[in-house]
Amino acid sequence: MIYPGLCPSNVSKDAKYSVVSGENGYEVRLIYRLSSREMLLLTTDAHDELVEMVNAVKKDLFGQPGGAFYINEFHDVLVPAPDKRCHFAGVYEDRLVFDFEGSTIGPDAPAGLEPGDEWPGPHVGIRYTLTAGGRDIRYEKTMPDRILREHLSDYVDPDEATSLASRLAAVRGAEGGRIYINEASEFFAPPSGGRSEFLYLGPLGENDPWFPAPDVPGHP
């Protein structure tokens, strides 16, 4: 099934999860960036259902299991295809967490983390754009014959869209730019303005406006 919503186009190795072959079968791998010169290869074998979902689509698309996938803020599992579209693999609610030297690395913000702090979590997320001046949030959806640009204000009250965008811009900067949201609905932004670290922007709250979830099986 071609996914009807936003398909990620991230090319960074640490911006996606992967299914890989491990000692005891297939596992989920995260490439976790410690610094500009060091990345960790972390794996977990605790998500057999997710692995099966991804591999089923991978076999249909490529004839073999394993490879990259994403989980978006709606918990939809997305498998990228060569034509820049994504195939829907299912809905997966469980969190992907990885152990590293006694610490847990996952998509949820650690207790006490405040907007403006360095984002310590994985860089896996879905890309959106904060418009200049913090007035709106948008994304681009690539199709075989066109590119569609969608704004949050197309779906919710424009004042509510501006309220959320302004809150993020107060941390990200009025110039706007790329922002990401992960499967735990945490916002973060890539390095900019001389910063070398990713920046935590805060969570998407239950009462915050957002784009509607695509119409796919598994959603309420």
Whether the CB-CB separation of 93 and 45 falls below 8 Å is answered with no
- Cα–Cα distance, 21 to 80 (Å, whole number): 19
Residue the block writes with tokens 């598994």: 218
Whole-angstrom CA distances from 98 to 42, 87, 121, 126, 190 are 6, 25, 10, 20, 21
Distance CA 188, CA 191 (A): 10
* pTM for the full predicted model: 0.92
Nearest to 3 by CA among 73, 68, 87: 87
pLDDT tens-place string over residues 149-184: 999 999 999 999 999 999 999 999 999 999 999 999
Q: How far is Cα 206 from Cα 201, in angstroms, rounded to an integer?
A: 16
Q: Tell me the pLDDT tens digit for each residue of 9-62.
A: 767 888 899 999 988 899 999 999 877 677 889 999 999 999 999 999 999 999
**Would you state the structure tokens that stand for residue 181, as one six-digit string?**
């949201």
Place of tokens 């957002």: 210
Burial of 208 (C-beta count, 10 Å sphere; 0-12/13-18/19+): middle
Task: Take residue 65 and report the two structure tokens written for it.
Answer: 């299991």
Domains of the chain, by residue range, sit at 13-105
